[in-house]
Structure 1
Amino acid sequence: MTSDVWLPFHADEIEGLPDGPAYRFWDGGQDFPADPADCVFYVVPYMKPAAVSRRPLPAMTSLRAVQTLSAGVDHVLPSLASLRPGVELCNARGVHEASTGELALALILASLRGIPDFVRGQDDEEWRAGFRPSLADKSVLIVGYGSIGSAIEDRLAPFELARVARVARSARTTERGPVHPLAQLPSLLPEADVVVLSTPLTESTRGLVNAGFLSRMKDGALLVNVARGPVVDTKALLAELESGRITAALDVTDPEPLPPGHPLWHAPGVLISPHVGGPTSAFWPRAKRLLARQLTLFVNREPLRNVVLTTGG
């Protein structure tokens, strides 16, 4: 029986890995560390192009589990049809909540308080004083209320908000209050001063933020995207930004990376960060703890956590 585990970290860097498997280091390089057919547990390299992450999958004929180090799994989904039935796909729930929550808050505050304008003023030695919007007393709508959406609300809690509304695929009740279904978005959008996107990219959320969605946002509202670029229709967003009716803070874009010369770079009222919600110092310890836990469960033949889907199901 094969027992290769492919890791994007060297095994001696991860405390608590169980004995038994043969740990192979592969971080997306041209050469594979061993025969992919012998791999039973594949940890997808982090922050590599989707084509790189998917390259060994068709040859992994003994595979039993795929573990991403990202919250989203859209980059590996196209290759799952080539896998044998019964392979479990797991995401990195618990790894990115802290850093993505921090960035969402940073983007909101920077956009509202005009930090980019202050930086440009410092570059030009100009004292750009004046009144700016505050986060206090604002209404925030979080679209995509999973673990990351919840972590964002954790960080918004001290800021004296007027209201937080939550939207997810289906309705439910939490300790903080109700989570509304996606179908109620049209009635919730006009009430929000800040709309935060933290939803996974699926067929139902691709292009969710289209011209109709944006037209329902109130004048002067801020759109914050820490989800995936294709959740937003870039052409529709550009039209709203160029009109000056709303503003945006984007950690992800479509296309991505945003190429030189793209009009989104210089659209009025937009702040862009280069998809840095996850890669911080908080990533490493949380990712390694996740791998140690998952592989211990795997070796002991116990149910894995964070299972998103099982092939052939």
Structure 2
Amino acid sequence: MPTLKRLAILDDYQGVTLSMGPWDRLSGRVQIDVFRDTLKDQDALVARLAPFDGILAMRERTPFPSALIERLPNLRLLISTGERNRGIDVAAAKARGITVCGTASFGAPTVDITWGLILNLLRDLPAQQASLRAGDWQTSVGTSVEGLTLGVVGLGKLGTRVARIGAAFGMKVIAWSQNLTAEKAAAAGAELVSKQELFARADVVTLHLILSDRSRGIVGAAELGAMKPRAAIVNTSRGPLIDQAALVAALKAGRIRAGLDVYDEEPLPPGHPLLSCPGTMLTPHLGYVSTQNYEAYFRTAVEVIEAYLAGSPIREMQP
């Protein structure tokens, strides 16, 4: 029967993992250590993780490429919150006899953050709250979303939900992705347009693509340059979908605005150029961070560990 002696829970930024799952069910069976910081240096990470035969990774905060996996000979069970994790080389792990599993999740909380960014950015809500607290009253004029054009890049599960909410707000919804058909766009209440037309027509562009070699840098200087003056781009998917240097240049020139929840480097380091850019609404990758989602993550993580110890792994990831 498989054993699991020590479990490392990684990147628990808020220090909430143990309070949001039934970890007491593992009491006396598995020693659990929680780490709240992210180590970028691989040597330091190996030194930290070497004693552990089980690891729970929080999404893609700490990647597990083959070069790291090969340096962890004690590792037997690697769990990621969520059903997939592109930061884990699953094939390399399985080749070394490591069981790799995911967890359940809850709903689509990234949709909340997408609309939070759009509404806060267009109505200038953070600045208006700050001015009110400082004793001022109505210091700017915001823009309503009704009547604007929403451009959705990527009309999958999340993009479709964002599109339908846009339509409910009274927005004109247009969409583009590399394999999108007119029929699928229409089913989501959107009009299929070309990539060039989407960036030229949209008042708000929102990205909902998986990061891959094909999508990396899919929004560059040409796309940002085609946007209307003061139009907004929102990214709650992955930072590298947008060419960061081109985005910083466009923001500093005051040509466009941006609502960002994801970045090329996370956590975003102090002094990062985006932090000083005007016309931005920035959040620290909150798309999946909700009470319901965390509770689903950690409840099923415990279930995964129990099943592994019973010799019947569940929720195994495939390469």
Deviations 1:74-122 (A, max 9, x none): 4334x85464089786666743612x11111111000011113213422
Task: Note the C-alpha offset of 1:124.
Answer: 3.8
Matches within 5 A, 1:244-259: 244-259=254-269
Determine if contact 1:28/1:48 at 8 Å carries over to the other structure. no
Secondary structure of residue in 2 paired with 1:59? coil
1:44 maps to 57
1:95 maps to 106
Determine if contact 1:145/1:179 at 8 Å carries over to the other structure. no
1:229 maps to 239
Deviates more, 1:210-219 or 1:284-293: 284-293
Deviates more, 1:204-213 or 1:156-165: 156-165
1:69 maps to 81
Does residue 136 of structure 1 match 2:146?
Answer: yes
Deviates more, 1:2-11 or 1:197-206: 2-11
Task: Note the C-alpha offset of 1:72.
Answer: 6.7
- With over 3 angstroms needed to count, the CA separation of the structure-2 counterparts of 1:35 and 1:252, relative to structure 1, is closer
- With over 3 angstroms needed to count, the CA separation of the structure-2 counterparts of 1:264 and 1:284, relative to structure 1, is closer
2:21 maps to 13
State TM-score, norm by structure 1: 0.73
CA distance in 1, matches of 2:58, 2:168: 36
User: How well do the aligned residues superpose, as a CA RMSD in angstroms?
Assistant: 4.2
2:163 corresponds to which of 148, 153, 164: 153
1:176 maps to 188
- With over 3 angstroms needed to count, the CA separation of the structure-2 counterparts of 1:70 and 1:197, relative to structure 1, is farther
Matches within 5 A, 1:100-119: 100-119=110-129
1:59 corresponds to which of 67, 72, 84: 72
Determine if contact 1:11/1:23 at 8 Å carries over to the other structure. no
Deviates more, 1:286-295 or 1:264-273: 286-295
CA distance in 2, matches of 1:92, 1:154: 28
CA distance in 1, matches of 2:127, 2:258: 14
Determine if contact 2:154/2:177 at 8 Å carries over to the other structure. yes
1:84 maps to 95
Identity %, equivalent residues: 23
The number of residue pairs the alignment matches comes to: 295
1:121 corresponds to which of 125, 131, 142: 131
Determine if contact 1:113/1:133 at 8 Å carries over to the other structure. yes
- Give 1:44's aligned amino acid: A
Task: Note the C-alpha offset of 1:139.
Answer: 1.6
CA distance in 2, matches of 1:251, 1:230: 12
Secondary structure of residue in 1 paired with 2:120? helix
- With over 3 angstroms needed to count, the CA separation of the structure-2 counterparts of 1:180 and 1:70, relative to structure 1, is farther
Determine if contact 1:27/1:45 at 8 Å carries over to the other structure. no
CA distance in 1, matches of 2:238, 2:152: 14
CA distance in 2, matches of 1:131, 1:242: 21
- Give 2:57's aligned amino acid: V
- With over 3 angstroms needed to count, the CA separation of the structure-2 counterparts of 1:282 and 1:13, relative to structure 1, is closer
- With over 3 angstroms needed to count, the CA separation of the structure-2 counterparts of 1:185 and 1:81, relative to structure 1, is farther
- With over 3 angstroms needed to count, the CA separation of the structure-2 counterparts of 1:112 and 1:287, relative to structure 1, is same
2:274 maps to 264
Task: Note the C-alpha offset of 1:7.
Answer: 7.6
- Give 1:136's aligned amino acid: E
Deviates more, 1:200-209 or 1:288-297: 288-297
Deviates more, 1:144-153 or 1:65-74: 65-74
Deviates more, 1:253-262 or 1:227-236: 253-262
Structure 2 runs not aligned, ≥5 long: 10-16, 37-46
- Give 1:176's aligned amino acid: A
State TM-score, norm by structure 2: 0.72
Matches within 5 A, 1:160-239: 160-165=170-175, 167=177, 171=181, 173=184, 175-177=187-189, 184-239=194-249
CA distance in 2, matches of 1:275, 1:131: 28
CA distance in 2, matches of 1:270, 1:90: 37
Structure 1 runs not aligned, ≥5 long: none
1:2 maps to 2
Determine if contact 2:151/2:206 at 8 Å carries over to the other structure. yes
